[in-house]
Amino acid sequence: MKKLTVLAMAVFMLFTFSAFAEPHNTPEAEEDTASVTGIPERVEKGCPTAGFLSDNMKCTDCHVLSREGGKYSWGIREVEPFADKNPPYGWEWKVGKDGKPYGFHQFSSISPNVVKAGLEYFDRHPEVDRIVINVFSPGGSVFFCWKAIKEVQKFYNRFHIVTTCDSAAFSAGLLFFLVGEERLVSEYASLMAHEIKGFSYMEEKYPSMLEEEAKLFRKWQTKINQWIEDRTNKKLTVEGLEELTAHIELWMDGVEAVEDYGVAHGYM
């Protein structure tokens, strides 16, 4: 009787422990369980990056867990386009309506070194054949502007250079805007040209000095007006600009820039 009792207890304990053991999962359940607890082995082995992951990377850097209809699945994590790119300060990667990438720069200060750095960077990327520079500038040094213009002209045969203006291009900002092979404006943009200006404070002046300064300023102004005349196909001439900007500023909105002065080719 005692032996029978011990045997019965042993059978009872066997069934009790079996109840707490891990159940046999269906393939679907096994897939879900694996997805919740970690990357399924079949997914990890089939991942295109297998063998390329560095020690500090993990699967969730590329994949994200989602649940639909009560089931879990792993998908590709969405990232910003060109998140792995690192263009110079002030420059960005963008994608056009044609699906092709292009380089973009917001031109606010007259900084030839920033312009040069961006153009040289994108020159190393053969998939880029277009540069868009949006001018939003109150102006600045005309001498810095000439250098920035020359940096762009070096790449005329490499890129299609587009300049745009959706707000303001004044003084040297207008001169730089004109460097674009294609120039587009907003109807509401404001653009301005004026005579070159110089400043002095508490400095003695003699007639001969003033005469020489006047010649120099006139030379600089003529160079500016010749640049504008050339880029507007003589819709604005040197002589016309001398009259339009004498002691005043020549202001134009986007429509006038396109329709009247030839400063822009069309609208954004």
pLDDT, tens digit, 9 for 90 and up, residues 19-68: 444 444 444 444 444 444 455 555 555 565 555 555 566 666 667 777 77
Domain housing 186: 91-267
**pTM for the whole thing?**
0.71
Q: Which residue is listed with tokens 């867990």?
A: 65
Alpha carbon distance 39, 37 (integer Å):
7
- Whether residue 194 lies inside any domain: the answer is yes
Q: What is the mean pLDDT of the chain?
A: 83
Which tokens sit at 207? 């007639």
Answer yes or no: do 173 and 134 share one domain: yes
Q: How many domains does the chain have?
A: 2
pLDDT digits (tens, 9 = 90+) for 126-156: 999 999 999 999 999 999 999 999 999 999 9
- Whether residue 160 lies inside any domain: the answer is yes
Alpha carbon distance 187, 257 (integer Å):
9
Largest CA-CA distance found in the chain, in angstroms, rounded: 136
Query: What integer is the mean pLDDT of 237-251?
Result: 94
Answer yes or no: do 45 and 130 share one domain: no
Answer yes or no: do 213 and 242 share one domain: yes
Position 210 scores a pLDDT of 76
Answer yes or no: do 35 and 56 share one domain: yes
Answer yes or no: do 239 and 120 share one domain: yes
Provide the H-helix boundaries in 156-237: 172-177, 207-231
Q: What is the CATH number of the domain that holds 165?
A: 3.90.226.10
Answer yes or no: do 128 and 219 share one domain: yes
